[in-house]
């Protein structure tokens, strides 16, 4: 095999980068180790004995996808992506019988919050409006290589809002949560959101993760009909329509370098694939430099920095459950007649104390007894995900990569999956005897199936020293590497994880700039 450009990894970012290059007339070949495209964003029949069910083993919801460049530029709707609107966007149930629906409409959401705390409802509106303005400023930073801090600073003028923004960006979430909300429930919401980046509530900078909720109000939440894998399927169709090629079941073992320039790759089977112009790796950056390139091609000091990229052992487990009935959230006022209970993703972390307990359990390297859980009941919006009358549920939470009791994850899988299910059933007790089957993807599975180091779905941690122009390292942040013709993309590059296509888009723009195909802006 031979191509001008080889892209290693057929996750949505590798495919997106390849599609932009193909669209610009480049000859591109994507090499994917699996027989399924999409990486952490696939849709698959994850329970072998129940093939009629389709699950999303990783990602499930799309935030603000209509605003993303790849959605428009690659004409994903024309290539078969059908978006279903998730409304309400989220449901937060609490053990005391309260619940909050988060609607796209901010004021409708505030009315929900006011039933718990009128003051928090007001604060929520102010908080969302503040961050919406901040995102108007921050969003363009994400649609290209991260600008230098000097460039960003040159645009800033002193104002109370800018000072507030900088203050909060350095804050630990705990501080920001207590400063912003009074009620235990809204503090729980803040903790849930902050924990999304797998940082402790005391990590400086962790407050920023709370703002995902803000983006949802402005960009909306969507789910592709047929599952999240339809995003990558649509990108792949776009890529092929531009003449690009995809080779599944082609695991890359080595990136071949000669005289400081990338020459191609070697597959696990031994076959060499020549790259006439370059190689883009759309997998974790530490894997590329520490496992795929002969060390003599890289400086020791550089390798030392890559070796110390933060990937601090917090990983993800996602379990899938085939059900014979939909959930009924009777403890929080669901009599089964209101469809809005069965549409949104539910978020379980009822208080800061609960979040602290979970974090302590993870630090002790235990399976959390207080799991922070994202819950997606997919058949509520898209019945095609299960046979008629049956239902599909996905639950995921953070777990330690290695358990303190030395158990292998294959052994611990069931305990973790059932603990999440039991926690969910506390809010949807009707499901206790409705389980038809289950499966789970543990950190070990993520590592073995998708190749993500330590089962970290962010490829490297999302912490302040690994974001913007520091992701994955300052010297790699514009997607170029010390090896000529070798570029990085994917969740380990700016702006990081999530199904946004942004790393793929941004890397392609930098390559096309180097090729003289886009103007130097």
Ligand X SMILES: Cc1cc2nc3c(=O)[nH]c(=O)nc-3n(C[C@H](O)[C@H](O)[C@H](O)COP(=O)(O)OP(=O)(O)OC[C@H]3O[C@@H](n4cnc5c(N)ncnc54)[C@H](O)[C@@H]3O)c2cc1C
Residue 480 DSSP SS3: strand
Residue whose CB is less far from ligand X, 13 or 203? 13
The reply on whether position 516 binds other proteins by CB under 8 A is no
In three state form, how does the secondary structure of 29-73 look? EEECCCCCCECCCCCECCCCCCCCCCECCCCCCEECHHHCHHHHH
With CB under 5 to 8 Å by kind, the binding choice for 150 among other proteins, ligand X, none is other proteins
- Helix 352-363 × helix 173-180 angle, to 10°: 170
Window of 11-19, 172-180, 383-391, 512-520 that interacts with ligand X by CB under 6 A: 11-19
The reply on whether position 497 binds ligand X by CB under 6 A is yes
Residue whose CB is less far from other proteins, 387 or 469? 469
Window of 131-139, 168-176, 287-295, 457-465 that interacts with other proteins by CB under 8 A: 131-139
With CB under 5 to 8 Å by kind, the binding choice for 155 among ligand X, other proteins, none is other proteins
The reply on whether position 434 binds ligand X by CB under 6 A is no
Task: Tell me which of 20, 39, 196, 354 binds ligand X, using CB under 6 A.
Answer: 39
DSSP state of 145: S
Which H or E element spans position 393? Answer: strand 391-400
Window of 28-36, 130-138, 329-337, 465-473 that interacts with ligand X by CB under 6 A: 28-36
Cβ atoms of 55 and 394 closer than 8 Å: yes
Window of 19-27, 57-65, 101-109, 110-118 that interacts with ligand X by CB under 6 A: 57-65
The reply on whether position 316 binds ligand X by CB under 6 A is yes
The reply on whether position 220 binds ligand X by CB under 6 A is no
Task: Tell me which of 21, 29, 40, 128 binds ligand X, using CB under 6 A.
Answer: 40
Structure tokens at 289: 């430099």
Within 261-408, where are the H helices? 285-287, 300-307, 352-363
Residue whose CB is less far from ligand X, 145 or 282? 282
The reply on whether position 135 binds other proteins by CB under 8 A is yes
Task: Tell me which of 31, 210, 417, 508 binds ligand X, using CB under 6 A.
Answer: 31
DSSP state of 447: I
Burial class (CB in 10 A: 0-12, 13-18, 19+), 87: middle
Find the distance separating the first CA and the last CA of the chain, reported in whole Å: 35
What's the rounded Cα separation, in Å, for the pair 88 and 101?
A: 6
Q: Which residues of 504-515 are buried (b: 16+ CB within 10 A; e: fewer)?
A: bbbbbbbbbbbe
Residues that bind ligand X (CB under 6 A): 8-14, 31-34, 39-41, 58-62, 251-252, 282-283, 316, 318, 396, 450-452, 457, 490-491, 497-499
Site residues, other proteins (CB under 8 A): 133-141, 143-145, 147-148, 150-152, 154-157, 159, 161-162, 165, 519, 521
């Amino acid at each position: 095999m031979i191509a001008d450009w080889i892209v290693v990894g057929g996750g949505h970012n590798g495919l997106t980068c390849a599609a932009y290059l193909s669209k610009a007339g480049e000859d591109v070949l994507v090499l994917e180790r699996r027989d399924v495209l999409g990486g952490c964003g696939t849709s698959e029949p994850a329970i072998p004995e129940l093939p009629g069910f389709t699950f999303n083993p990783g990602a499930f919801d799309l935030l603000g996808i209509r605003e993303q460049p790849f959605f428009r530029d690659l004409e994903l709707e024309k290539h078969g992506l059908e978006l279903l609107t998730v409304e309400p966007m989220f449901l937060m149930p609490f053990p005391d019988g309260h619940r909050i629906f988060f609607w796209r409409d901010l004021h409708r959401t505030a009315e929900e919050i006011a039933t718990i705390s009128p003051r928090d409802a007001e604060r929520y509106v102010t908080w969302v409006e503040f961050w919406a303005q901040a995102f108007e400023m921050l969003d363009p930073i994400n649609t290209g290589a991260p600008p230098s801090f000097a460039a960003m600073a040159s645009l800033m003028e002193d104002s109370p809002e800018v000072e507030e923004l900088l203050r909060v960006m350095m804050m630990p979430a705990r501080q920001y949560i207590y400063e912003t909300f009074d009620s235990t429930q809204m503090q729980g919401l803040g903790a849930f959101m902050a924990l999304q980046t797998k940082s402790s509530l005391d990590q400086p900078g962790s407050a920023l993760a709370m703002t995902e909720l803000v983006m949802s109000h402005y960009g909306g939440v969507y789910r592709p009909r047929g599952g999240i894998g339809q995003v990558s399927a649509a990108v792949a169709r776009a890529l092929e329509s531009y003449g690009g090629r995809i080779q599944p079941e082609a695991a890359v073992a080595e990136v071949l370098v000669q005289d400081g320039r990338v020459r191609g790759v070697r597959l696990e089977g031994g076959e060499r694939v020549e790259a006439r112009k370059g190689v883009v790796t759309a997998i974790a950056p530490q894997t590329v430099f520490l496992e795929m390139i002969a060390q003599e091609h890289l400086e020791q000091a550089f390798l030392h920095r890559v070796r110390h990229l933060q990937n601090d052992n917090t990983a993800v487990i996602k379990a899938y459950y085939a059900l014979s009935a939909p959930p009924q959230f009777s403890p929080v006022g669901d009599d089964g007649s209101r469809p809005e209970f069965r549409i949104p993703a539910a978020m379980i972390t009822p208080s800061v104390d609960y979040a602290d307990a979970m974090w302590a359990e993870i630090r002790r390297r235990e399976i959390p007894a207080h799991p922070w859980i994202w819950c997606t009941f997919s058949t509520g919006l898209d019945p095609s995900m299960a046979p008629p009358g049956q239902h599909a549920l996905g639950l995921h939470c953070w777990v330690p990569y290695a358990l303190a009791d030395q158990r292998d994850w294959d052994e611990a899988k069931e305990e973790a999956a059932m603990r999440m299910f039991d926690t969910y059933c506390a809010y949807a007790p009707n499901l206790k005897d409705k389980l038809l089957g289950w499966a789970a993807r543990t950190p070990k599975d993520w590592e073995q199936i998708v190749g993500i180091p330590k089962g970290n779905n962010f490829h490297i941690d999302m912490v302040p020293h690994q974001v913007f122009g520091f992701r994955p390292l300052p010297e790699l942040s514009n997607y170029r590497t010390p090896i000529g013709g070798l570029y990085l993309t994917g969740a380990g590059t700016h702006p990081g994880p999530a199904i946004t296509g942004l790393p793929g888009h941004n890397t392609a723009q930098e390559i096309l700039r180097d090729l003289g195909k886009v103007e130097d802006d």
